[in-house]
Structure 1
Amino acid sequence: MCSHHDPNDHVFYRNPTKYYPQADRGEGIYIIDTQGKRYIDGCGGAVVVSIGHGSHKVREAMLEQADKVAFTHGSQFTTRAARELAARLAGMAPEGLNRVYFLSGGSEAIETSIKMARQYQVDRGRGGKYKVISRWSSYHGNTLGALALSGHTGRRKYYQPLIQHTPHIGPAYCYRCPFGRTPDACGLECAEELEKAILYEGPDSVSAFIAEPVVGATAGAVVPRDGYFQRVREICDAYDVLLIVDEVMTGVGRTGRNFGIDHWGVAPDLLVCAKGLASGYTPLFCVIASEEIHRTIQEGSGAFVHGHTYSQNPLSCAIGLAVLDTIQEEGLIQRSAEMGQVLLDALQGLSSHPIVGDIRGLGLFAGVEFVRDKQTKAPFAPGQKIHARITERAFAHELIVYPGSGGADGVHGDHILLAPPFIITRDQIAEMVDILDRVIGEISAELQEEGAL
């Protein structure tokens, strides 16, 4: 039994007012608690679990590496596990990206990419370039530097006095186009706004532009239209600005390709990867850099002025290799593409509910956005916490989904993310969607009774 009322529980929970059941074990797409309840992990925790829970292959790799050496510091040694994993990732990454810097957290990896971009600019004699442009309705992490780049008012408001000002532009969000366009009349204004921002800031002061290929936590699997990232790449090239893609959620097969950016055939300069790299078996993230960035730092300062204790951790790297082996041997990236289409097709049935405004996604990465009025797309008042109500009700029905808010304007807007393990079956997808259908129906009826619709 786990509860905030338990005097023997000394954990500082993320939400100290909430009751958390105690997880006992994981099997495939399920997490089982100590009461025997069996939950469908419909969002892979926080879009993390790709190969499923309870992998024996990962367990064996973990034990084998632990029997050799579990920890070495990245300033003193390299290891076979680190070298092999870097080679595998370089082989998977977009063209030109072939140097891998390992880390143990997403926010840590984002800030590493920003510092890497900055040192590259200094080492090539362009020390005036320091600004990083990002987008509203984005999320890049919770540390202060990553939060400065994130475009989510609700997550930023407590810490605003501590956050460095960074320039933001509008998102590529077709359902709520910031430019009032419809897809058939789109002139990629959201991409053109990057050029305007670079010119306003001064091209000689802009180091990089960072974006998620598919927006995750803050807007719920928002997929840009074709042409967006191609145009962004052109603009970055024209003004000597680095393109950083945040693939913390979308990397390693989540969207049905190696990386989300692969859908548009664009090669960034830096790629931040990825919750799915270790499928939750260990904290393992990385930045994959171009040879040009690596060479410039090597020939300039001679060393990247940066480091973390668990960078290049051999135990984590061995686990990452076992996860990639599993993904390759079981064809799980192709399966993510196929099952992702099954999931998106099944979710379309939810559009009959009065509060479902939009359903979207790519691969096994899908979002459902909720609205008070379908015609006007008007969101619910933030205090109604529709995303939380739906998530809690689904949890009571033993389905875990990932809630989000603020997609409409940083404060208003409700959605859920669905990102189950790639091993999910058609029947399990049908069960997930059936539970959601029931839950959304119940809450729609309650909102009508409350006069909130």
Structure 2
Amino acid sequence: MTPTPREAAQRRTAVLHRKLHDKVKTAVGAEGNYIILEDGQRVFDSTGGAAVACLGHGNAQVKAAIVAQMDEISYCHTLFFATNVFEDLARFLADSTGGRLSKVFIVNSGSEAMEAAIKLARQYYLELPTPEPQRTKFIARQQSYHGVTMGSLSMGGHVFRRELFEPLLLSNVSHVSPCNTYRGKHDGESDAEYVKRLADELDAEFQRVGPENVCAFVAEPVVGAALGCVPSVPGYFPAMKAVCEKYGALLILDEVMSGMGRSGTLHAWEQEGVVPDIQAVGKGLGGGYAPVSGLLISERIVDAIDKGTGSFRHGQTYQGHPIACAAALAVQKIIKQQNLLENVRKMGSLLESLLREGLGDHPNVGDIRGKGLFWGIEFVRNKSTKQPFDPLVGVAMKIQDAALSPKYSLSLYAGGGTADGVRGDHVLLAPAYNVTEEDVRIIAERTIRVVTDILSELNDKDN
């Protein structure tokens, strides 16, 4: 009996791919900004995967650092031994904050970093001279994304990623509104008025759950996958931190996607001078050359544990992995030595202007937003009312899939639920920090072309 195409696709691979019924294209190589497929197609990686490949692919300096570390030591357990490369990376990162975040904890993924942040926040209150064991609550934001483990998924407000697992998620997490001017700010409302309204909402949530019960407020400085590169308005994070300080709670910033240079400064919080108590970093930390993420931790928390039990009751097999640390340290040194943050800001400004010029007046483009080299485009059925497309149309995924075809050969990162958690579409762009003006013009031209073409096709079908 001849197998159906679906059955044939399932039989061809032993991998549990993200979509079992799709034939996934195979990448056989990569160089610079391009992913090379088995048929020879070269796809411009304008998203760095998931905002990861911040130096592009095949960087010789990073590869040399990894090889050198393998020649020295590939793995040892941090329960028994320290390594020079872990110490060097931690010192580099602590120094990058001016010492304001004085200790570093290195793991493998953003989800793991956020999971560790949750546990560290809880333990902090148990280590105080007068412990506060009643602090078990966390407040995060709707339409956020903080990871896929049970704790980090509980923190997030991404409806689609949560829905199958809702009965298993933590009950001690509540969510307030995101800072999203396109969807949340009232007509005629100033930035200051909007910030005050959101601060009042957070304050009211503290009161509702009991301010003495809250461990931390958790937020992304620029919301990535869930909303498509939505930055906060000026003054937002100072106001949120003030609420946290009013009630003795911690501020945890998830910079896994938006940090380590992606938003134009090494740490996104630098742009408002709001230092978190705990900061999670990830994707741009190692640029995809090794799985690596981490926490940057304030002296306030370190001091409490130092004077308490003297031990963070959390550990992982691959914590502080030497090869991952070597990759991350090499990536960060290149970013600093080549002054790539300046290029992020300069090329980000050019990308913004080109996108606005080419798509700003499109009737189905509702908003173009972002910072640095982190830009999102939100699509709407009706521009004046901001009505989103029906989720069944799958606008963002159609654009993502079309962009990967040989006609465009471009990666675009699609997302849904942008409007209300269920409806709404966006794509985001997150190219390498070392892109040139020519590269940015290629990205913009191909993005404008595929977006225009697919939206035109959809509108033609409607008519």
Is TM (by shorter chain) over 0.5? Answer: yes
Inter-CA distance 307–180: structure 2 relative to 1 (3 Å threshold): farther
Matches within 5 A, 1:121-160: 121-124=125-128, 125-160=131-166
Matched, 1:87 2:95: no
1:202 matched to 2:210? The reply is yes
CA 1:152–1:179 in structure 2 vs 1: closer, same or farther (change >3 Å)?
farther
Once the two structures are TM-superposed, the CA of residue 184 in structure 1 deviates from its matched residue by 5.5
Superposed counterparts of 1:32-43, under 5 Å: 32-43=36-47
Question: Is 1:172 the counterpart of 2:179 in the alignment?
Answer: yes
Bigger mean CA offset, 93-102 vs 207-216: 93-102
Q: Distance in 2 between matches of 1:76 and 1:31?
A: 40
2:390 corresponds to 1:403: no
Structure 2 residue aligned with 1:287: 295
Aligned 1:381-420 pairs, distance under 5 A: 381-396=390-405, 397-420=408-431
Aligned counterpart, 2:286: 278
Q: Which residue in the other structure is 1:13 paired with?
A: 17
Please report how far the alpha carbon of residue 68 of structure 1 lies from its aligned counterpart in structure 2 after TM superposition: 1.1
Whether 2:56 is the aligned partner of 1:52: answer yes
Task: Please say if 1:327 is aligned against 2:338.
Answer: no
Residue 74 of structure 2 corresponds to which residue in structure 1? 70
Mapped to 2, the partners of 1:194 and 1:275 lie a distance apart of: 29
Q: 1:368 to 1:183 in 2, by over 3 A?
A: farther
Quick check: 2:259–2:268 contact (8 Å CA) kept in 1? yes
> In structure 1, what is the equivalent of residue 456 of structure 2?
445
Supply the distance in 1 between the matched residues of 2:303 and 2:132 (Cα, whole angstroms): 15
Change (3 A) 1:370 1:217: same
Of stretches 155-164 and 361-370 in structure 1, the one that deviates more from structure 2 is: 155-164
In structure 2, runs of 5+ residues without a counterpart are 1-6
- Which residue identity is paired with 2:115? E
Matched residue type, 1:335: N
State the match for 1:434 in structure 2: 445
Q: Secondary structure at the match of 2:36?
A: strand
* Pairwise CA distance, 1:8: 4.0
| Structure 1 position 182, deviation (Å) | 4.0
- 1:298 paired to 2:319: no
Question: Judging changes above 3 Å, is the alpha-carbon distance between structure 1 residues 287 and 305 closer, same or farther for their aligned structure 2 residues?
Answer: same
Alignment check: 8 A CA contact 2:191 2:233 kept: no
The answer on whether the counterparts of 2:191 and 2:234 sit within 8 Å (CA) in structure 1 is: no
Matched, 1:350 2:359: yes
TM-aligned CA distance change 1:151 to 1:94, over 3 Å: farther
Distance 2:184 2:8 in 1: 42
Aligned counterparts of 2:99 and 2:230: Cα–Cα separation in 1: 25
Consecutive unaligned residues of structure 1, counting only runs of 5 or more, are: none
What's the CA shift for 1:178? 6.2
Q: Compute the displacement of 1:428 (Å).
A: 1.4
Distance 1:182 1:203 in 2: 28
- 2: CA distance, partners of 1:353 / 1:420: 23
Equivalence for 2:4:
none
Q: CA contact under 8 A between 1:93 and 1:258: conserved in structure 2?
A: no
Equivalent pairs counted in the alignment come to 450
Q: Is the 8 A contact 1:354 1:444 kept in 2?
A: no
Which sits farther off after the overlay, 381-390 or 192-201?
192-201
Letter of the 1:139 counterpart: Y
Partner of 1:99: 103
SS in 2 for 1:321: helix
Sort the Cα spacing of 1:87 and 1:428 in 2 relative to 1 into closer, same or farther, 3 A. same
8 Å contact from structure 1 (residues 250, 274) kept in 2: no
Distance 1:347 1:108 in 2: 34
Secondary structure of 1:450's aligned partner: helix
Contact 1:365 1:419 in 2 (8 A): yes
Q: Given the two structures, how large is their TM-score scaled by the length of structure 2?
A: 0.95
Q: Over the residues paired in the alignment, what is the CA RMSD in angstroms?
A: 1.5
User: Within 1, Cα distance between the matches of 2:404 and 2:66?
Assistant: 31
CA-CA distance at 1:12 after TM superposition: 0.6
8 Å contact kept, 1:4–1:16: no
